[in-house]
Structure 1
Amino acid sequence: MNRRIAAVLVAVLAVFTFVPIASAQSTPTLSNIRTGQHAGFSRVVLDLSGLPAEHRVSEVTGVSNCGSGDPVTVAGSGIREILSVTLIGAAAHDDAGNPTYPGSRNFATPGLTHVRGVALTCDFEATLGIAVGYSNPSSWHRVFTLTSPNRLVIDIGL
């Protein structure tokens, strides 16, 4: 009897050993960057497959590429300040290294009142960096996440 049970267990384990297991993307990924003008503020939206573990925000006068350290000039005219947003636990590529965000990595936003340009500054080791350039140092900002669909929202206004 014990031999039969052992044989059945070996057969079951052999089947499960060769069954491929589907794996989900382990890190939330960026699929799109959208911009829009609202009454009193300009908005930048990062469409994501999931929410990052956290995000950090700082006002800076310059940004650099996280991989190379080379300075990044944010596209757009009249930029005097930059809002640097770092998403910890997010990427713009999948687990195989294929880009998930097909758009421009540095672009001007001429249709917006407060935001002048947006640049992707980091996509390395589950860290995604975005720089939002604006012209008025007195501008306010707010950065928050929303779900259904998942996105990170950056508002800049006066």
Structure 2
Amino acid sequence: MRRLTTTFLSAAAVAALAAACGNGAEPTSADPSSAEPSSTEPSSTEPSSTEPSSSSPTTSSEPTGTPAFPQGTADQTAENSGEWDLVLVDVRVGEHEGYDRVVLEFSGSGTPGWAVGYVDEAVLDGSGEGVTLDGSAVLDIYASGTTYPADDGESYDGPRQFAPGDGGEVEDVHVGGTFEGYTQVLVGIDDDPAPFRVFALTGPPRLVVDVLDD
């Protein structure tokens, strides 16, 4: 069974644990591969943008620097930057012209990194529990640079699983947990694996995954 945790997160989790036991400095060994991240790596000057709060179609312009969709469906990874202090507060899906958008919103001061790719089965990291998702393919989303919420802090309190119901490419969404510095969200895709693009936004920190709907 192919899982992103075996191709990316094993080594990075060690770095996250080391950072948690250290003085809080940003880890320098969480690079998911020996190669530099692809062009999907977020820019430090990436402008903020307004994301839709529902699944209604929108034709709003994209933020400057938004990457193009790739030709294939290969895994995409990039490192987080800044503090490992991001706490998931919202997950939403919006239907745009030609693609569906999944947005993970965080509190905190850092910028999320990511490991996103298609997997054979929907499995929760940490517990190893399987998840049943509607759809023909499973897109596994990991956001890096995240942490557990403080007892009195804001955190995600929405549904653990929901269906957007807009007839787009995203059929189902399961919001997993945070484990060793990474937050997982599993997405059921309507048809066969479709090309996707990933980027980060600031103000507030967000991880954006767009799935091409052709």
Question: What secondary structure sits across from 2:192 in the alignment?
Answer: coil
Number of residue-to-residue matches in the alignment: 130
> One-letter code of the match for 1:34?
R
Are the counterparts in 2 of residues 61 and 80 from structure 1 also a CA contact under 8 Å? no
SS at match of 2:156: coil
Equivalent position SS for 1:71: coil
Percent identical pairs in the alignment equals 32
Deviation per residue, 1:13-61 (Å, 9 max, x gap)? xxxxxxxxxxxx9620111112111111111111111445521011113
TM-score normalised by structure 2 residue count: 0.55
Q: 1:138 to 1:126 in 2, by over 3 A?
A: closer
Deviating beyond 2 angstroms after TM superposition, the runs of 4 or more aligned structure 1 residues are 50-54, 95-99
What is the rounded CA distance, in whole Å, between the counterparts of 2:142 and 2:204 in structure 1? 20
Written as runs of structure 1 = structure 2, the 5 A alignment for 1:77-156 is: 79-91=135-147, 93-96=148-151, 100-156=155-211
Q: CA deviation at 1:100?
A: 0.4
Partner of 1:48: 106
How do residues 20-39 of structure 1 correspond to structure 2 at under 5 angstroms?
A: 27-39=85-97
Q: Gaps spanning 5+ residues in structure 2: where?
A: 1-82
- 1:60 paired to 2:119: yes
Secondary structure at 2:175's aligned position in 1?
Answer: strand
In structure 2, C-alpha distance between the alignment counterparts of 1:117 and 1:127, rounded to whole Å: 21
Q: What is the aligned partner in structure 1 of residue 132 from structure 2? A: 73
Higher alpha-carbon Rg:
1
Question: Could you say if the C-alpha distance between residues 72 and 97 of structure 1 is closer, same or farther in structure 2, counting changes exceeding 3 Å?
Answer: farther
- Are the counterparts in 1 of residues 112 and 207 from structure 2 also a CA contact under 8 Å? no
Q: CA RMSD in A?
A: 2.2
Normalized per residue, the structure richer in strand is: 1
